[in-house]
Amino acid sequence: MTGNADLRQIATELPGSLIRRLANANMGRSDVIPLWFGESDLATDPAIAAAAAESLGRGETFYGPNLGLPELRKALAEYQQRIFATQAGFANIAVTSSGLNALLLVLSALVDPGDEVVVPVPAWPNLVAMPKVLSASVREVPITLEAGRFALPLQRLLDACGPRTKVVILNSPGNPTGWRLPPAEMAQLVAELDRRGIWLLADEVYSRILPAGVAPASFVEHFDEDRRIVTVNSFSKSWAMTGWRLGWITAPRRLVEVLERLIEFNTSCAPTFVQRAGIVALGPVGEAFLASQTARLDTARLAALEVLADEERITVPHCDGAFYLFPRIEGMDDSVALAERAIENGVGVAPGAAFGAGGEEHLRLCFARDPAQVREAIQRLVRTVREI
């Protein structure tokens, strides 16, 4: 056997996750406070988990519909109508085996080999990798730091779209930057892209992860059957359900019809007992969890910011949403080396290089943890920065 010439070249060239590489090698070390993954330290609310256990007890262990349980699709439509003003209803919802899986399915429905997908960076690395899995190309457009805040002027995004652009993926609120598209600009972006025949694929998994007092916004508010607009969401971040692998898509009906078949050929359906838990998360139990999570995240973020402010070589862009800080370390040009050094000091962070161009001088810190632990972790990080 000589090399991997008999594998698909694109597949062999996919980058492994820099985040996972560091984390996997140091998993389970009790002396390391982990801020590296985009995941809360809280287990799912027991009342949500109980719905899955009860479903299993009733023997709900059979195939379900490709698009999801009607009860969950209805609950999702009502949830979105309750939180956002949207025309999207039951027939526009497809349940998926995670938000990630939803993104891949939508891309599978829209992009052919050779098509182009525009992705603002720094970005969650999967957004850049997934189009490549489909033999599409990716055009990156920079989100830049302007006066302490990440920004992506609409014109810059539109200028990045060329004749081969089929889709723009917009992750707002954004991982890792904490950037959020100003809600006032949403309508214009949808209209401009649609006019050019380009689909907007909005990754809104952080739509409910916002500082207290900030009203949630979503592209579903601009949904229209006749527009090229798709949103993807997930139960993972809003309701501490990362391990459940449950997400959903909101799309025009003609796209939902295609997605139904693509789901049949991917995972076929999400487990029914998992979907039962999702229904509970969308109700009062989930809203109560969101309220307490928001308060806890605020406390943790403020604690982190307070400690980071102690070190003048660290500048922290404003966090408009999601549960990350993405500080820039002056004079630091190897984020992987710094992240490795941080582990030795007892804190796990994600190197900025994992998030592509514009990330190299940064580290990503997930503050979805007990605020006292976050404070301690950031103190260890500041100590590490002072060592270099």
- The residues in 125-144 that bind a copy of itself, with binding defined as CB under 8 A, are 126, 129-130, 133, 135
110 lies in the binding site for a copy of itself (CB under 8 A): yes
Give Cβ neighbours of residue 19 (< 8 Å, ≥ 6 apart).
Answer: 36, 37, 125, 350, 351, 354
Binding-site size for a copy of itself (CB under 8 A) equals 77
CA atoms within 13 A on the CB side of 179: 23
Give Cβ neighbours of residue 34 (< 8 Å, ≥ 6 apart).
Answer: 23, 348
Question: Closest approach of Cβ 233 to a copy of itself, in Å?
Answer: 16
Binding to a copy of itself in span 202-261, by CB under 8 A: 226, 228, 240-245, 254-255, 258, 260-261
Q: Which stretch binds a copy of itself (CB under 8 A): 15-23, 288-296, 324-332, 343-351?
A: 15-23
Question: Closest approach of Cβ 378 to a copy of itself, in Å?
Answer: 22
The pattern of x and - marking residues 311 through 340 that bind a copy of itself according to CB under 8 A reads: ------------------------------
Question: Closest approach of Cβ 312 to a copy of itself, in Å?
Answer: 35
65 lies in the binding site for a copy of itself (CB under 8 A): yes
Q: Which of 297, 359, 354 is nearest to 23 (CA)?
A: 354
44 lies in the binding site for a copy of itself (CB under 8 A): yes
Give Cβ neighbours of residue 380 (< 8 Å, ≥ 6 apart).
Answer: 33, 342, 345, 346, 347
Question: Largest Cα–Cα distance of the chain, in whole Å?
Answer: 60
- Alpha carbon distance 235, 155 (integer Å): 32
Residue 316 corresponds to which amino acid? V
Q: Please, which residue, 35 or 338, has the CB nearer to a copy of itself?
A: 35
172 lies in the binding site for a copy of itself (CB under 8 A): no
Residue 358, SS3 per DSSP: coil
179 lies in the binding site for a copy of itself (CB under 8 A): no
372 lies in the binding site for a copy of itself (CB under 8 A): no
Give residue for tokens 């689909």.
199
Question: Closest approach of Cβ 227 to a copy of itself, in Å?
Answer: 8
